A and B are shown apart, each in its own frame.
Chain A
Amino acid sequence: MRFPHAIIGAAAVALLLSGCTSGSSGDATGPINLPEDPASVTGDISYAIWDVNQQPAMEKLIADFNTTYPNVDVSVELTAFPQYFTKLQTQGSSGTLPDVFWMNGPNLQLFASNDMLAPLEPFEDADLFDPSNYPSAMNDIYTYDGTQYGVPKDFDTIALFYNKAILARAGVEAPTADWTWDDYHAAAKKISDTLGGEGIIGSGDSTRNQENVYPAVLSNGGTIIDGDKSGYDSPEAVEALQFWADMVADGSSLTPAANADTEGFDRFLNGQVGLVWGGNWRVSGVLESAVAADVSVAELPLAPTGERKTVIHGVANAMSAHSDNPEAAQAFLSYLGSEEAALIQAEAGAANPAFNGTQQDFVDSAPGMNLQVFEDAATDYAEAYPVSKNTGAWNKVELDLLPQAFSGERPVADVAKDLADQMNEALAKEK
Chain B
Amino acid sequence: MSETIERAGSGMQAAQAPAPGGGGATRLARKRHSPDGWWPALFILPLAAGIGLFYLWPLLQSVYYSFTEWGVFGGSTWTGVENYVRLMQDPDVLRAIVNTLVYTGILLVGIPIAVVFAALLNRPGLRFAMIYRTCFFLPYIAMPTAISMVWRIIYNNDYGVINSTLRVVGIEGPAWISTEWFSLVAVAIVGLWMSIGFNMIILSAGLKGIPPELYEASAIDGAGKGRQFRSITVPLLTPSIFFLSVMTFIAGFQLFDMLYALLGPTNPVMPKTQSLVFLFYDAAFGANEKGYASAIGVLILLIIGLFTLVQFRLQRRWVHYAD
Which of A's residues lie within 8 Å of B, judged by CB? 1-2, 4, 6-7, 9-11, 13-15, 21-22, 82, 85-86, 89, 92-93, 110, 114, 116, 199, 208, 256-262, 390, 392-393, 395-396, 399-400, 403-404, 407, 426
Cα distance, A1 to B14, chains bound together (Å): 11
Q: Which one of B67-75, B193-201, B238-246 is at the A interface?
A: B67-75
Q: How far is the CB of B172 from chain A (nearest CB, A)?
A: 13
Q: Given A7-B48, A14-B57, A393-B288, is A260 in contact with B177 using a C-beta cutoff of 8 Å?
A: yes
B45 touches A6 (CB 8 A): yes
A257 touches B269 (CB 8 A): yes
Most buried by A among B159, B175, B264, B288: B288
Cα distance, A4 to B49, chains bound together (Å): 11
Chain A residues closer than 8 Å to B321, beta-carbon distance: none
Q: How far is the CB of A78 from chain B (nearest CB, A)?
A: 15
Q: How far is the CB of A330 from chain B (nearest CB, A)?
A: 22
B74 touches A11 (CB 8 A): no
Number of interface residues of B (CB under 8 A): 40
Q: How far is the CB of A22 from chain B (nearest CB, A)?
A: 7
Q: Identify 14 new A-B residue pairs, CB closer than 8 A, beyond the known A22-B74, A256-B268, A260-B264.
A: A6-B52, A10-B53, A11-B57, A21-B74, A92-B73, A114-B73, A199-B158, A258-B178, A260-B268, A261-B158, A262-B157, A390-B287, A396-B282, A399-B268
Q: How far is the CB of A12 from chain B (nearest CB, A)?
A: 9
Q: Which residue of B lies closest to A426 (CB)?
A: B287
B41 within 8 A of A: yes
Q: Given A1-B15, A6-B48, A6-B52, is A261 in contact with B178 using a C-beta cutoff of 8 Å?
A: yes
Q: Given A92-B72, A390-B287, A392-B287, is A257 in contact with B48 using a C-beta cutoff of 8 Å?
A: no
Chain B residues closer than 8 Å to A258, beta-carbon distance: 157, 175, 178
Chain B residues closer than 8 Å to A13, beta-carbon distance: 53
B73 touches A392 (CB 8 A): no
B73 touches A260 (CB 8 A): no
Cα distance, A15 to B57, chains bound together (Å): 8
* Cross-chain pairs A/B with CB under 8 angstroms, 28 sampled: A1-B15, A4-B48, A6-B41, A10-B49, A14-B52, A14-B57, A21-B74, A22-B74, A89-B73, A89-B285, A89-B288, A114-B71, A208-B266, A257-B179, A258-B157, A259-B178, A260-B177, A260-B178, A260-B263, A260-B268, A261-B156, A261-B158, A261-B178, A390-B287, A396-B282, A396-B287, A399-B268, A404-B268
Chain A residues closer than 8 Å to B267, beta-carbon distance: 260
B80 within 8 A of A: no
Chain B residues closer than 8 Å to A14, beta-carbon distance: 52-53, 57
Q: How far is the CB of B291 from chain A (nearest CB, A)?
A: 11
Chain B residues closer than 8 Å to A257, beta-carbon distance: 175, 178-179, 268-269
Among A10, A199, A407, which residue has its beta carbon within 8 angstroms of that of B268? A407
Cα distance, A309 to B188, chains bound together (Å): 43
B266 touches A261 (CB 8 A): no
Cα distance, A4 to B139, chains bound together (Å): 41
Chain B residues closer than 8 Å to A260, beta-carbon distance: 175, 177-178, 263-264, 266-269
Q: How far is the CB of A352 from chain B (nearest CB, A)?
A: 24
Cα distance, A114 to B290, chains bound together (Å): 15
Give a binary string over B216-232; 1 marks a CB under 8 Å from any A CB, 0 the rest.
Answer: 00000000000000000
A396 touches B286 (CB 8 A): yes
Q: Which residue of B lies closest to A4 (CB)?
A: B48
Chain B residues closer than 8 Å to A390, beta-carbon distance: 287-288
